[in-house]
Structure 1
Amino acid sequence: MSLDLRAENVLKNLVETYIHDGQPVGSRTLSKLPQLGVSSATVRNVMADLEELGLITSPHTSAGRIPTVQGYRLFVDSMVRANLPTQEAISQLTDRFEGESDPEKLIAHASDVLSDLTQFAGMVVLPSQSLTRFHQLEFMRLSKSRVLAILVTEDGRVQNRVLSSAEGFSESELVQAANFFNHRYKGNTLQDVRRLLVEDMQTDNDEMHNINQSAIQAASQVIAEEEQSNQNDVVVSGEQKLLGVPDLCQIETLQKLFDAFKTKRDLLDLLDRSLKAEGVSVFIGEESGFSSLGECSVIASPYHVDGKVIGTLGVVGPTRMSYDSVISVVDITSKLLSQALSGSSQS
């Protein structure tokens, strides 16, 4: 939808005034803004046109108007210019990531800082197992029948598994199995590693036949357990801050919203949509497709390791939010988390 310059200016200033004040905006209020420079009657006529287009509405019988979801959408798509965070905010962001190499702690820091800087709920989706790539596997004998398996993924996460086996493995067999695994499957997703391993075991592969099959089965077990134990999950911080948002103060609204935080299913589905997006995605109110988020906006962005998208992060807040500021915070946080995770995967 395109508007002429006057209508665009009226809508832009109406949305910005409503976001700032939280009260329906009347034509007289807008006409006093020096950046518009038109009479109250002119503003009133333009507002009538905007209402007919479904971009603004009246919440009650007063003369004030508020933006609809469609009005917010046009505002975000055409009129918002992301503001750079303050130097204080940038320092707060960089301080959280500086000197940290543990991927799980980095993800928790990202969720916390998103909430702290926006005063809404911050979220980070853990890397999807369909995207997580295998980097390295090592074995260490603990006893005759117990082996410690150390799995490293390309996003820098390290997982340990203790494997029990009735058949004892020699050190050379464990080294041989690990070397084969690392050489053949490095860089593949965990899902692909499992598939390729099955295919390799079914084919007449001399290299595979020369390796202790029980050791290879042990390696396969580690991959399978890692997939099962780390299904997509989302780290949420600061959801309690939404209790103080006037726009969300209705008991029914809060109950639906906190149910969404508890089950996480709707949040995961919504954030997954932004995985393939370039840059920041904005879902406003009913655009999410979930009634639990009907009074909220979700601003999300993918994050990367070495240029590969592995997850998403974002903010949940009311539809009446400072989109320019929140978009900037989400954008810079995704870049800083990507940079920190890429560094940790190489350390």
Structure 2
Amino acid sequence: MSLDDRKLEVLRAIVEDYVATQEPVGSKALVERHQLGVSPATVRNDMAVLEEEGYIRQPHTSAGRVPTDLGYRLFVDRLSRVKPLSPAERRAIERFLAGAVDLDDVVHRTVRLLAQLTRHVAVVQYPSLSRSAVRHLELVPISTTRLLLVMITDTGRVEQRLVELPAPVGPDDVTELRRRCNEKLAGQKLADTPPLVQGLVDETAPERRTTVACLATVLLETLVERGEERVALAGTANLARASVLDFQGTLRPVLEALEEEVILLKLIGEVEPSTTRVRIGDENKIDNLRSTSVVSTGYGPGATIVGGLGVLGPTRMDYPGTIATVRAVARYMGDLLAQN
């Protein structure tokens, strides 16, 4: 084993012990707990080099060391082996999510499950409308001059709007409108629909054009002027399990950041397909979260990413286990959406 490899093994041992015990790690404990094959003096020398290079630090005057953000980053990039989930864990995820009755239920089950399995704060973004396609449009007559427009997307989102019509419309006309809308828009990405909606108006006979124009206005609001992207959050109480030292002495800035939906979307949004992103400490762009780590990934049916999910916790995190859990839950959620 070359010197570099040995130092990496010492760093791996320090990270694993500190995550498990919450206690600074000394050279004697490392030699006792790990098969390093060298003396405590050699381990002390390796630790001195690791400290000099910024991978570990001494939090106070004890002999123990703790990893720095840089040390965790090296651990995640080069040293950690993602722990495969056990068959029992996989079955538990599958059973828990399979009982969901609709999209809201899927999201809420997923966020609770992630928080329970990782013991961190879990965040799940609802499928984004901007990445969804129209599955079906329903027009329900409420009166002769009022319709309920219901849009169902391929990701399970349901949006409803009232349409006030300028003149009475009969049941046959509503049926025809419904047919034309679905013919034109079903299967289309929401982002691609504006010219198709305009086409719907242009192709209408002049005597019915004002009615279709009213419907088109509401259709565009539903399809394009998407409401706020939504997120679900669970497991905030898990932060209390960590030591206050994990959060530089105070939890308040972290809790304040978690109340902002825009921040939560930034944390877990914009993830590339089949990529798990790990941001550690100062790598977080949000000041209040510089004492935390975030593990996030995208989810969706097949290769399509429709939203993000992830967990936030102290930098002293079981990275291999957390990464495996986040990936597995995202995969099951994608499978569920593909079946619906």
1:94 shift after superposition: 1.4
Q: Percent identity?
A: 31
- Structure-to-structure mapping, 1:1-347, within 5 angstroms: 4-198=4-198, 200=199, 205-206=202-203, 212-225=209-222, 228=225, 230-247=227-244, 253-274=250-271, 276-344=272-340
**What TM-score comes out, normalization by structure 1 length?**
0.89
CA distance in 2, matches of 1:333, 1:33: 33
Deviations 1:16-40 (Å, cap 9, x if unpaired)? 0111111111122212234211111
Asked whether the 8 Å contact 2:297–2:327 carries over to 1, the reply is yes
Asked whether the 8 Å contact 1:176–1:211 carries over to 2, the reply is no
CA distance in 2, matches of 1:117, 1:123: 13
Seen in structure 2, the aligned counterparts of structure 1 residues 207 and 162 have a Cα distance that, compared at 3 Å, is: closer
Instruction: Name the aligned partner's letter for residue 254 of structure 1.
Output: L
Question: Alignment RMSD, CA only?
Answer: 2.5
1:219 shift after superposition: 4.2
Seen in structure 2, the aligned counterparts of structure 1 residues 315 and 53 have a Cα distance that, compared at 3 Å, is: same
1:227 shift after superposition: 5.2
Indicate the SS of the match to 2:95: helix
1:153 shift after superposition: 0.5
Asked whether the 8 Å contact 2:302–2:338 carries over to 1, the reply is yes
1:181 shift after superposition: 2.4
Q: Which moved more, 1:105-114 or 1:254-263?
A: 254-263
Asked whether the 8 Å contact 1:296–1:317 carries over to 2, the reply is yes
Instruction: Name the aligned partner's letter for residue 295 of structure 1.
Output: S
1:133 shift after superposition: 1.6
1:223 shift after superposition: 4.2
Instruction: Name the aligned partner's letter for residue 250 of structure 2.
Output: T
Asked whether the 8 Å contact 1:9–1:36 carries over to 2, the reply is yes
Asked whether the 8 Å contact 1:169–1:215 carries over to 2, the reply is no
1:75 shift after superposition: 0.3
CA distance in 2, matches of 1:210, 1:255: 62
Gaps of 5+ in 2: none
CA distance in 2, matches of 1:82, 1:258: 29
1:293 shift after superposition: 1.2
CA distance in 2, matches of 1:299, 1:8: 23
Residues matched between the structures, number: 339
Deviations 1:165-193 (Å, cap 9, x if unpaired)? 23222233323333222222233332331
Instruction: Name the aligned partner's letter for residue 337 of structure 1.
Output: M
Q: Which moved more, 1:18-27 or 1:214-223?
A: 214-223
Instruction: Name the aligned partner's letter for residue 318 of structure 2.
Output: S
Gaps of 5+ in 1: none
CA distance in 2, matches of 1:249, 1:49: 24
Q: Which moved more, 1:219-228 or 1:5-14?
A: 219-228
Indicate the SS of the match to 2:25: coil
